[in-house]
Amino acid sequence: MAETYQALQSSPRTSPTEILEVNGLKMYFPIRKGFLRRVIGHIRAVDGISFAIRTGETLSLVGESGCGKTTTGRCILRAYDPTAGEILYRRHDGQVVDLAQLDRAALRPYRREIRMIFQDPYSSLNPRMNVLDIVGESLRVNEGLRGRELEERVAQLLRQCGLRPEYMRRYPHAFSGGERQRIGIARALALNPRLVVCDEGVSALDVSVRAQILNLLQDLQEQFNLTYLFIAHDLSVVEYISDRVAVMYVGRLVELAATEELYLNPKHPYTEALLSSVPKPDPRLSSRGQGIVLEGEVADPSRPPSGCYFHPRCRYAQALCSQETPPLRDIGNGHYVACHFAEQLNLRGVPGERR
Q: What are the residues binding ligand SF4 (CB under 6 A)?
A: 268-269, 308, 310-311, 314, 316-317, 321, 326, 339-341
**Is the CB of residue 115 less than 8 Å from the CB of residue 197?**
yes
Provide the minimum distance between the beta carbon of 323 and ligand SF4 in the complex, in angstroms, as a whole number. Answer: 10
Helix (H) or strand (E) holding 258: strand 252-258
Nearer to ligand SF4, 182 or 268 (CB): 268
Beta bridge partners, 248, equal 253
Nearer to ligand SF4, 206 or 343 (CB): 343
Nearer to ligand SF4, 162 or 307 (CB): 307
Beta bridge partners, 258, equal 244
Provide the minimum distance between the beta carbon of 231 and ligand SF4 in the complex, in angstroms, as a whole number. Answer: 22
Provide the minimum distance between the beta carbon of 168 and ligand SF4 in the complex, in angstroms, as a whole number. Answer: 51
Nearer to ligand SF4, 188 or 321 (CB): 321
In this structure, how many other beta carbons lie within 10 angstroms of the beta carbon of residue 286? 12
Provide the minimum distance between the beta carbon of 347 and ligand SF4 in the complex, in angstroms, as a whole number. Answer: 10
**Is the CB of residue 185 less than 8 Å from the CB of residue 161?**
yes
Outline where 225-268 has alpha helix (H): 235-241, 259-264
Which of 124, 50, 73 has its CA nearest to residue 229?
73
Tell me whether strands 8-9 and 96-98 are parallel, antiparallel or unpaired: antiparallel
Provide the minimum distance between the beta carbon of 290 and ligand SF4 in the complex, in angstroms, as a whole number. Answer: 19
% helix, strand, coil for the chain, step of 5: 35, 25, 45
Nearer to ligand SF4, 279 or 327 (CB): 327
Provide the minimum distance between the beta carbon of 266 and ligand SF4 in the complex, in angstroms, as a whole number. Answer: 11
Report the C-alpha gap between 195 and 217 in whole angstroms.
Answer: 13
Nearer to ligand SF4, 135 or 308 (CB): 308
